[in-house]
Chain A
Amino acid sequence: MFWNRHRHGKGRRCSILSPAETAGCPVCGEFQPLSTVGKGCRCRIRRHRAHGAVRQRLMDMGFVPNTEIEVVRVATLGDPMEIRVGDSFVTLRKREADQIEIFAA
């Protein structure tokens, strides 16, 4: 449920933890999700936590582990975000972005 989820630095600009740091997030022990970084951020994909169709779709669109991605913009109402993957631009809901673990590029 979206109101009680723990967020690392809500709506923050670039504040990506290094792999070593994210491994032990003091609050929840989770890695940093893509949904927590702001416009202009560049980072790399560590792994997906999504399953099934979402995971497959993300992989198809080029969200393959270790790929460098960049947050291009966030929509007016703050939800879908636009991500550059290689030469293409892909939009994701925060909910899907939450399932992607990232680390500093």
Chain B
Amino acid sequence: MSSKRTILVGLAGQQNSGKSTIFNMLTGANQHIANYPGVTVDKKVGSYRDSAGRVEVVDLPGTYSLTSFSLEERVTRDFLRNEKPDAVVNVLDTSQLKRSLYLTFQLLEMGMPLVLACNMVDVAEARGMALDANVLSSALGVSVVTTVGRKGAGKADLRDVIRTTASRESGAETPRTVVAYDELEPHIAAVEKRLNEASGLALIVPPRWLALKLLEGDSEAAGILEASHSDAAGVLTLVRSLATSFEEEMDISPADHIVSCRDELASQIVAACMTQEKSKRASLSEKVDRFVLNRALAPFVLVLSVYCIYELSIVQGYELTKFTWPALAWLRETVASLLPFPGLLEDSLLRSLVLWMVDSANTLLNYVPIFFILFALIAILEDSGYMARIAFILDRIFHSFGLHGQSTLPFILGGVFAGGCAVPGVMATKGIPDERSRLATILTVPYMNCLAKVPLYTLLVNIYFAAHKSWAMLFISTITIIMALIIAKFLTSVVLRGKETAPFVMEMPTYHLPTVLGVLRRSVDRTWQYIKKVGTIVVAVSVCVFFLLQFPGVPEEHMADYRGRIDEAMTEFRADVAALGETPYLQLVQGEGLEDLVIVYDEYRAARLGGGSNVNEEFEATYPEFYPLIARSGDAAAKKINRMLRGLSNTRKTIRREIRSEQIANSFFGRLGRLLEPVTHFAGFDWKVNIALISSFAARESSVATLGAIFQEGADEGATLEQRMASESNSEGRTPLGALALIIFFALYPPCLATTIMVKVQTGSYKWMLFSIMFPTVLGLAVSSVVFTGGSVLGLSGVEAMGVFYGAALILAVALAFVPDPAWNAPKTTYVEQS
């Protein structure tokens, strides 16, 4: 029976069994990634058509078994139970056949319509193993297909078998192997008999499977029982007494007995269907590991590979942005030219809002080449198998602070050596199996020195620590990792105390050569996710920030003053033009015409700076009457007017800038800055710094830009921001100590908008996103207040305070490493304790 209908296929298998390559092989390009509802586990869905109709394939999370101990296992099990797929493809690593069969047995016991895909037969053959698929098929009573996912071998066979298995009548199945549990069988039968009393239960789950799960002491099995059986408590009592008597009799718990029976059967099946020629030769992976994981050499290999990642993605990626930035700048110009013309002093709301949004998006899109390279390199590290080895080398250090060996990469991407970005860092936490460590990593990655923090550091160090520049930079680049470890320890032992932790039991995969297509697909996927998710939300939030910085705006009487100033300048200009005598341009600058002339003049200069190829031709065609004046191409009079025009344009710019800074000071954000002064003055921040800090929440780069907008005086004389801030700070009583407090606050500063959104995506909850904003704010303010107020009271200089703070943090970190992890003493869930 093969009707034209869509069937649902689940793809199950262990990690590193080549499940993803089989998924790609089956579905080709027709796939997408989502999240399972409520959890952060990836859900890959794809589909293809065969002669009989459409086949929808779901790539289930990689699992070693179907217990309820980890999120992945629960997700897989719930999918199989609730969605009831028409066929389940169990992908096996042929070279690890025995261990792979444990999962196969569990799938059989769940009554799944199973297809076995024995993958990587080429690897097995290379190791001198030969599999007889027919023997395996008859031993298990299911169809077996041999495949080589990387080369696409076995695709047609697998598709055929999926279709026939899915369309088979459920009653007409071939007899299947059932694992015999010997001494446990009477107990299983007794429980099964009680379960069969509930009429509807067999429709939900196979009773034998549930009986086994109950005897194993599986925590979710009791839940299934309660939902479907009227006398759940009675059954549980029976199960508990049976399990206790079995354990007393056999000196082994039912769960262990079940595993060893499966193990024995797996050994028998492997012996029957697999022939292996004994080779004493160490595999290539082992040889490589003797060098790469050598106790003495491993750290050097690690540092070298990290350096390569850093060099290739961050450094070379920035080289690439030289090519992409002009494209983004062109995009901005194009958008700007479509918008209403700028006003003389104030632009229309539409124009400034749209340009603000484009600028926000551009800042983030500028990172795309860097991310693309980064993601490709990470995919190579993951596929090759080195990522697991990094975790192996560094686990000891991270574990002392409640983190995980696999936290290394997120920290590196976040910018351990000044110059990363927290967004890919937070994204890279996806692979950490330990939920508690993963959350702690997500929440501490933003403390690293992202590239956008560097400008403010440089500015402050240049002004206040010029004499101790290298010490200050060393302080900044190492204090962040020290603080991150301290905070991670705090989070894991206090805030995340109750979160699920996983044992560090990880398979060391054999080295594989990554496929170009696989790496490309993964990096394109992840980059696109970044563009899509971050892009949409950032644009939305940037609108909010825009309004908070824009409104309520400059009071009308001040605007009148500004207008008066520009009118005065224009009147002066007109008089100067008139003084030149009778020129053809006099008419042009009378009345409204002059406003347009000034605007067009500024547009022309901006376009020339933008470096368009035919700026002159365009402006000549569009503004034939203005062109001689703006392009300095006319007669002597036009040249004189052009020079005067430059003065007028500068006046316009000055006034616009003043309006802008008054707007910021008067905006909701500005008021907030002043409102916060009573709190922040303990840390030595005044309202100007407050605004800069608040606005840098949207993107760190804006901290320096905002400071530039606020510290205006002297800008026209060509003084650098350093000089301006230094001169103002002297008059306002700023000290290096205050700068140190600011540096520390900035190091502990909450993640930027894009990162907080990524935190939301990776944790799947707004609660953690809010926490990631609130906690660092409070902590940063507290620490910098202690440094500033404490330093002032003790009369320490900036450098002295820096040294004291550094020493204290280092001692605290080392001390914390010895504090035992609360999870170590957590009550162990045992079979008997479960009620």
**Binary contact track A81-96/B, C-beta < 8 Å → 1, others 0:** 0100011111111011
**Quick check: B298 and A91 within 8 Å, CB to CB?**
no
| A23 touches B (CB below 8 Å) | no
State the CA gap A78–B400 with chains docked (Å).
Answer: 13
Chain B residues near A95 (CB-CB < 8 A) = 503, 824
**Candidates A75, A78, A89; contact of B507 at CB < 8 Å:** A89
Query: Are B295's CB and A76's CB within 8 A?
Result: yes
Alpha-carbon distance A76/B392, docked complex (angstroms): 9
Q: Are B396 and A79 closer than 8 Å at their CB atoms?
A: yes
* Given contact pairs A2-B820, A52-B828, A53-B69, A82 touches B392 in the complex (Cβ within 8 A): yes
What distance in Å separates the Cβ of B163 from its nearest Cβ neighbour in chain A?
31
Q: Does B321 contact A (CB under 8 A)?
A: no
Question: When A75-B396, A80-B405, A87-B95 are in contact, do A65 and B505 touch as well, CB less than 8 Å?
Answer: no
Interface residue ranges of B787-835 to A (CB < 8 Å): 820, 824-825, 828-831
| Contacting pair B830 A80 (CB below 8 A) | no
Taken together as a complex, chains A and B put the C-alpha atoms of A32 and B260 apart, in Å, by: 21
A50 to B395, CA, bound (A): 21
Which of A1, A48, A56, A58 has the most CB atoms of chain B within a 10 A radius of its CB? Answer: A56
Cβ B507 vs Cβ A90 within 8 A = yes
Tell me whether B395 and A80 are in contact (CB under 8 A). yes
CB neighbours (8 Å) of A53 from chain B are: 69-70, 502-503
- In the bound complex, CA of A80 to CA of B394 (Å): 9
Q: Which residue of B lies closest to A3 (CB)?
A: B818
- Partner pick for A1 among B256, B397, B824, CB 8 A cutoff: B824
A77 interface residue, CB < 8 Å from B?
Answer: yes
- Interface 1/0 per residue, B499-510 and A, CB below 8 Å: 000111111100
- CB-contacts of B348-402 with A (<8 A): 388, 391-393, 395-397, 399
- Asked whether any CB of chain A lies closer than 8 Å to the CB of B20, the reply is no
Q: Given contacts A73-B295, A76-B298, is CB(A52)–CB(B392) below 8 Å?
A: no
Question: Which residues of A lie under 8 Å from residue B67 when comparing CB positions?
Answer: 56
Given known contacts A56-B67, A76-B298, A77-B396, is B506 in contact with A62 (CB within 8 Å)?
no
The residue from A52, A58, A87, A93 contacting B829, defined by CB atoms under 8 A apart: A52
Judge whether B429 is part of the interface by a CB distance below 8 angstroms. no
Residues of A contacting B508 in the complex (Cβ-Cβ under 8 angstroms): 82, 88-91
Given contacts A57-B505, A80-B392, A96-B505, are A87 and B295 in contact (CB under 8 A)? no
Is B102 positioned at the interface, with any CB of A under 8 Å from its CB?
Answer: yes
Contact A75 B295 (CB under 8 A): yes
Residue of A nearest to B510 (CB): A89
Residue A6 lies at the interface, judged by CB distance under 8 Å to chain B: no
Q: Is A1 within 8 A of B820, CB to CB?
A: yes
Question: Is B507 in contact with A59, judged by CB distance below 8 angstroms?
Answer: no
Find chain A residues with CB under 8 A from B299 CB.
76
Separation of A51 and B69 alpha carbons in the complex (Å): 11
Shortest C-beta distance, A5 to chain B (Å), equals 11
Report the contact-size class of chain A (Cβ under 8 Å from the partner). Answer: 35 or more
Is A74's CB within 8 Å of the partner chain B?
yes
Q: Does A64 contact B (CB under 8 A)?
A: yes
Smallest CB-CB separation from A1: which chain B residue?
A: B820
Closest to B298 in A: A76
Q: Check: B453 CB closer than 8 A to any chain A CB.
A: no
The CA of A77 and the CA of B817, in the complex, are separated in Å by 14
* B263 nearest CB neighbor, chain A only: A64
CA distance A55 to B252 in the complex (A): 13
Complex Cα gap A82–B67 (Å): 25
- Indicate if the CB atoms of A93 and B504 lie closer than 8 Å: yes
Asked if B65 is an interface residue, CB under 8 A from chain A, the answer is yes
Most-contacted residue by chain B among A48, A78, A80, A95 (CB, 10 A): A80
Binary contact readout B31-69 vs A (1 if CB under 8 angstroms, 0 otherwise): 000000000000000000000000000000000110101
User: Which of these, B293, B393, B503, B831, contacts A57 with CB under 8 Å?
Assistant: B503
The residue from A1, A47, A54, A75 contacting B298, defined by CB atoms under 8 A apart: A75
Return chain B residues, CB-CB under 8 Å to A73. Answer: 289, 293, 295
- Complex interface residues of chain A between 1 and 44 (CB less than 8 A to chain B): 1-2
Specify which of A47, A52, A92 is in contact with B69 (CB 8 Å cutoff). A52
Question: What residues on A are CB-neighbors of B255 within 8 Å?
Answer: 55-56
Q: Are A96 and B64 in contact (CB under 8 A)?
A: no
Question: Complex Cα distance A62/B67, Å?
Answer: 15
On whether A91 and B506 interact (CB within 8 A), knowing A52-B69, A59-B256, A76-B298, the answer reads yes
* Docked pose: A59 CA to B260 CA in angstroms: 9
The interface residues of chain B lying within 8 Å CB-to-CB of A77 are 396-397
Among B256, B502, B505, the one with the most A-chain Cβ atoms within 10 Å of its Cβ is B505
Segment 224-264 of B: residues with Cβ below 8 Å from A: 255-256, 259-260, 263
**Which A residues are CB-close (under 8 A) to B396?**
75-80
Please name the residue on chain B nearest to A78 by beta carbon.
B396
B504 to A, closest residue via Cβ: A93
A76 near B507: Cβ-Cβ < 8 Å: no
Q: Within 8 Å of chain A (Cβ to Cβ): is B98?
A: yes
Contact B393 A87 (CB under 8 A): no
CB contacts (< 8 Å) of A61 on chain B: these are 64, 99, 505, 507
Q: State A2–B395 Cα separation when bound (angstroms).
A: 16
CB distance from A54 to the nearest CB of B (A): 4
CB nearest to B405 among chain A residues = A80
Residues of A within 8 A of B102 (CB): 60
CB-CB under 8 A for A65 and B506, given A52-B830, A57-B64, A80-B392: no
Q: How far does the alpha carbon of A95 sit from the alpha carbon of B64 in the complex, in Å?
A: 21
CA distance A22 to B536 in the complex (A): 63
Contacts of B507 in A (CB 8 A): 61, 88-91
CB contact between A92 and one of B95, B393, B504 (< 8 Å): that residue: B504
Report the Cα distance A95→B504, complex, angstroms: 9
- Asked if B316 is an interface residue, CB under 8 A from chain A, the answer is no
Given the known A-B contacts A80-B405, A86-B98, are A96 and B260 also in contact in the complex, defined by CB atoms under 8 Å? no
B470 an interface residue at 8 Å Cβ cutoff? no
A74–B505 alpha-carbon span in the complex (Å): 14
A100 to B829, CA, bound (A): 17
Q: Is B96 among interface residues, defined by CB-CB distance under 8 A? A: yes
* B505, A54: Cβ atoms closer than 8 Å: yes
- Across the interface, which residues of A come within 8 angstroms of B259, CB to CB? 59, 64
List the 4 closest pairs (A to B, CB-CB), nearest first.
A60-B64, A79-B396, A77-B396, A53-B69
Residues of A near any B CB (own CB < 8 A): 1-2, 47-48, 50-62, 64-65, 73-80, 82, 86-93, 95-96
A-B contact pairs, 27 of them (CB 8 A): A1-B820, A52-B829, A53-B70, A53-B503, A54-B505, A55-B255, A55-B256, A57-B64, A57-B502, A60-B99, A61-B99, A61-B507, A64-B260, A64-B263, A73-B295, A75-B395, A76-B299, A80-B396, A82-B293, A82-B508, A87-B95, A87-B96, A88-B507, A90-B507, A91-B395, A92-B503, A93-B395
10 extra interchain contacts, Cβ-Cβ under 8 A, other than A53-B502, A86-B96, A90-B505? A55-B255, A56-B67, A56-B69, A64-B259, A64-B260, A64-B263, A75-B392, A79-B399, A91-B505, A92-B505
